[in-house]
Amino acid sequence: MINEKLPKIWYGGDYNPEQWEKEDWDEDVRMFKLAGIDVATLNVFSWALNQPNEETYDFSWLDEQIDRLYQNGIYTCLATSTGAHPAWMAKKYPDVLRVDYEGRKRKFGGRHNSCPNSPTYRKYAEKIADRLGERYKDHPAVLIWHVSNEYGGYCYCDNCAEGFRKWLQDKYGSLESLNKAWNTRFWGHTFYEWDEIVPPNAISEEWNGDSTNFQGISLDYRIFQSDSLLECYKLERDALKKHNPNIPVTTNLMGTYKELDYFKWGKEMDVISWDNYPAYDTPESFTAMRHDLMRGLKSGQPFMLMEQTPSQQNWQPYNSLKRPGVMRLWSYQAVARGADTVMFFQLRRSVGACEKYHGAVIEHVGHENTRVFRETATLGKELAQLSDALIDSRVQAKVAIVFDWENRWATELSSGPSKALDYVNEVHKYYVALYEENIAVDMIGVDEDLSKYEIVFAPVLYMVKTGYADKVKEFVKNGGTFVTTFFSGIVNEHDLVTLGGYPGELRDLLGIWVEEIDALPPEVTNQIVMKKETGSLSGSYECSLLFDIIHSEGAQVLAEYGSDFYAGTPVITRNTFEKGKAYYVGTCPDPSFLSDFVKTVCEEKEIKPLLDAPKGVEVTERTKDGHSYLFVLNHNATKVEVEISEGKDLLTAEELNGKTSLDGYGVMIVKR
């Protein structure tokens, strides 16, 4: 449980009373009560208000707001306000300002504009966190600390250059080791002094974001910047914890956000929280995958849905409304996959600046007679009734998918084999095949214990870090099933090729040798031709993108290519390795193959769908105290029929036994 002071599913969101006048505040509280809102996130971007100059701190406005809300039964998620530094700081101490990818020194403006290695930024961020911790350490309203906001963005300034060199010295110990890891004899890049090393950006080694001459330095710089921002988080966290170690600390993450290694961040957070903003065309499966990924950052611990919009966003190309029922549906999707909060950005629409058209519980009209408010209030009542049953329940999965940020960075920094290769998309292809079968999945990092799973998928495991191959082999030896794909086992953690033939350290486990990799334009396809019916797999399927030319070294060949000069050579293999099996998928298959493939692999391990449901109906499950809570979510706009053999729908109190209908965008939570 996040905080036992409020033992329910928290309901609320970001509130900015400092942007409004006093006459609005009482009306806000009245409507919050109507909507069932019990948690308000305060002080996210108020550093300039809290600290008008270097010497002065003034939290009187914050005292008033926290007290006023608490007297009305509303708790506080208290942010530290460090997501945007004050103008006076940028004016007096320009070292706080970032240098961008193009090498330009920023001026004051926007947010996320603070250099994570600026001594000034770190000093004052830690100080204000310390002041807040001291002031509110015993306040009964404060449930959780919210450090900064949506960390992200890299800096390439002199402070970062100096910090990078120190970080490299700690990592490698000597320039000899660094030169070897980066292969600097290529293009005459050998370094003889640490200060010869400069950050890789558009004026040194990189161009167009992910194109680089030296993958080693670019990969290390991404790790360094992620670590630098994490150090900023930890400074504030520790300043808060010293005053009251029992109040949990979080910061809001952003799903599959590219620039930060969230598995490393998850180890430093008491509870994971994240902001969910699907676009109008984001597949429901992709949102589900990101929920599962956030749950996976702390090995299945429930997380916080910190932000979502009640209806409309403002910053995407096409800011469509959430259709009636969709906000409720997507909120339950988060809860179904492990969220113990449902929170919004924002509680009242801003009157000006770039977020004035971002949706809110309270619209610009200023009263409760809106569609959005009615839907919000309905959901608030439902969550209050469900909380005792669902709070701190867990998702149980026997299938896992490996997701690794360093592997992602290395894959996308690779010069070849194809610009169309996108790590997240390839992972999602396997995820969606399992999602459509309603098979529970954990998204895991490379540090996770594999023994609790029956099947582990690791698509595009390009980078095999020290010890990971042995970990996977132990899993398979003990009876597990491991599945990996093309462009796997190629390099080590320094992005140096593992010599001796692809897939490197995985070669004996998979029982194959990949001699060559063919990369063709996405519109050019080949065929996966099954040698014989295998489980649900039969006949022929289309494939594209990359085509590994494979020799079996003991693996059973399940399918061969249908055309090109490698027609008749292996493309899908399965190798028995002591008690388990290891599959290799040597190309990018079409969705029909992946659907049949995951059915086959799961059937072999007797892993069954949670429910046989129509297309567009998502099913997942949380368990607690011997009870199962089956979430049935209809993402279709039209009514569907599902068959529930037994159970009680907690939302309607209806006893279910057989076929039942579910309205468009409808939800059932079945206790079994």
What are the catalytic residues? 150, 307
Contact 410, 219 (CB under 8 A): yes
Question: Using CB atoms within 10 A of its CB, is residue 102 exposed (0-12), middle (13-18) or buried (19+)?
Answer: exposed
Instruction: Check whether the bond before 417 is cis (ω within 30° of 0).
Output: yes
Residues 6+ apart with CB under 8 A from 217: 182, 197, 200, 205
Strand 339-344 and strand 273-275: the pairing is unpaired
**Tokens 């990359």 belong to residue:** 546
CA nearest to 505, candidates 531, 484, 479: 484
**Biggest alpha carbon–alpha carbon distance for the chain:** 77
249 CB burial (10 A radius; 0-12, 13-18, 19+): buried
DSSP per-residue string spanning 139-153? -TTEEEEE-SSS---
Residue 641 CB-density burial (10 A; 0-12 exposed, 13-18 middle, 19+ buried): exposed
Side chain identity, residue 307: E
- Please list, in sequence order, all residues whose beta carbon lies within 8 angstroms of the beta carbon of residue 180, skipping any fewer than 6 positions away: none
Query: Crossing angle, helix 284-296 and helix 423-435, to 10 degrees?
Result: 100
Q: How many CB atoms lie within 10 A of CB 468?
A: 21
Other Cβ atoms closer than 10 A to 186: 11
Report CA-CA distances (Å) from 52 to 83, 121, 146. 16, 15, 21
